[in-house]
Amino acid sequence: MTVAGSVEPLLKLTADAMNEVNELILSKAGSDVELIPEISNYLVTAGGKRLRPMLTIASASIFGYRGDDHVKLATAVEFMHTATLLHDDVVDESDMRRSRATARRIWGNQASVLVGDFLLGQAFRLMVDVGSLAALDVLSTAASVIAEGEVWQLSAARSMETTKRDYEAVIRAKTAALFSSAAEVGPIIAGANERERLAFRQYGDALGMAFQLVDDALDYGGSAATLGKNVGDDFREGKVTLPVILAYQGGNDEDRAFWRAAIEQGQNDEAALASAIERLERTSAVEKTVEEARLYGDKARTALSELPAGQWRDALDEVISFCIGRVV
């Protein structure tokens, strides 16, 4: 096991298929309505590692799949993700993502909502084109679950009543659901058996949980430059993530009063952020969050052991370490 991990082996193995995904993204995000390709191209060139569609490519290819349905489903997965980002930025009123201005900052909330809807529609058309009702079932369920998780997060926002269990349910819905679905549709179209399908679902779920836990840890420091968002974004938005829950639980009365004021009453200026980081350090809350991510990493590795050994499985193993290593 590599400590830092790398996404390179997976990037290399999926390179040809991902080129096809990128072409399909540009073609299916095309429209005579110029604003649509304009915004879509902006998001596509924003890059990101395309972890989710790579999971679909890998989880089909590991079973020797030969065809192009995995490219279509991977594109659908990326469209679902992009639509979610567009809507999330509107909901969170975010101005920056991956070190660039968000679409809503440039083109406004209106276009972001509608182009997100368009991409979601195109995602479903691609799934229908593939014609697998089982894959459609998995991905349409994910679409509902993701939105449900986002509403839940909105309802729980700014409340220190949020428990670790609430938090886990939210990130399982808003992040892990797409990871697990992206990984599950590969074995479906490749004709793998139920055990392998379940193993990929579990791998994706655990990887997604680890990924989000690390993301939430990074929001309070770590290698923030690589994250491309500003340290303290979650704090300023009053999001109750695991580091905050742990610092609240592990703190004294004065700490708890601080967190309630910060999260529930919005006392979250730069001085408050500095104080928050000090309290997180004293209670080892970020460390414990990363430890939690490591436990999910172990779960992902256990799930992988059910799958065929070889370069694909090795690459998927490296991705686990990579997701966690972002913060080490």
Site for a copy of itself, rule CB under 8 A: 31, 33-36, 87, 90-91, 109-111, 113-115, 117-118, 120-122, 124-125, 127-128, 131, 133, 136-137, 140-141, 143-148, 150-152, 154-155
Tokens of 129: 């084109």
Distance (Å, whole) CA 226 – CA 112: 25
Measure the CA dihedral 53/305/324/185, to 10°: 20
Nearer to a copy of itself, 38 or 287 (CB): 38
Nearer to a copy of itself, 182 or 303 (CB): 182
Q: How many helices (H) and strands (E) does the chain have?
A: 17, 2
Nearer to a copy of itself, 103 or 320 (CB): 103
Q: At what angle do helices 35-45 and 69-92 cross, to 10 degrees?
A: 100
Nearer to a copy of itself, 123 or 327 (CB): 123
Contact present, 22 and 44 (Cβ < 8 Å): yes
246-253: long-range contacts at Cβ-Cβ below 8 A with a sequence spacing of 24 or more? Answer: 246/164, 246/283, 246/284, 246/285, 246/288, 246/289, 247/276, 247/279, 247/280, 247/283, 247/285, 248/160, 250/283, 250/284, 250/285, 251/279, 251/282, 251/283
Instruction: List, as one string, the DSSP characters of 185-216.
Output: HHHHHHT--HHHHHHHHHHHHHHHHHHHHHHH
Nearer to a copy of itself, 42 or 124 (CB): 124
Rounded least distance, CB 114 to a copy of itself, Å: 5
Rounded least distance, CB 25 to a copy of itself, Å: 15
Nearer to a copy of itself, 35 or 328 (CB): 35
Rounded least distance, CB 200 to a copy of itself, Å: 20
Rounded least distance, CB 231 to a copy of itself, Å: 23
Rounded least distance, CB 42 to a copy of itself, Å: 14
Rounded least distance, CB 84 to a copy of itself, Å: 8
Rounded least distance, CB 277 to a copy of itself, Å: 27
Rounded least distance, CB 78 to a copy of itself, Å: 16
Task: Report which of 240, 281, 280 is spatially closest to residue 260, judged by C-alpha positions.
Answer: 240
Nearer to a copy of itself, 128 or 257 (CB): 128
Nearer to a copy of itself, 145 or 188 (CB): 145
Residue 101: strand pairing partners: 96
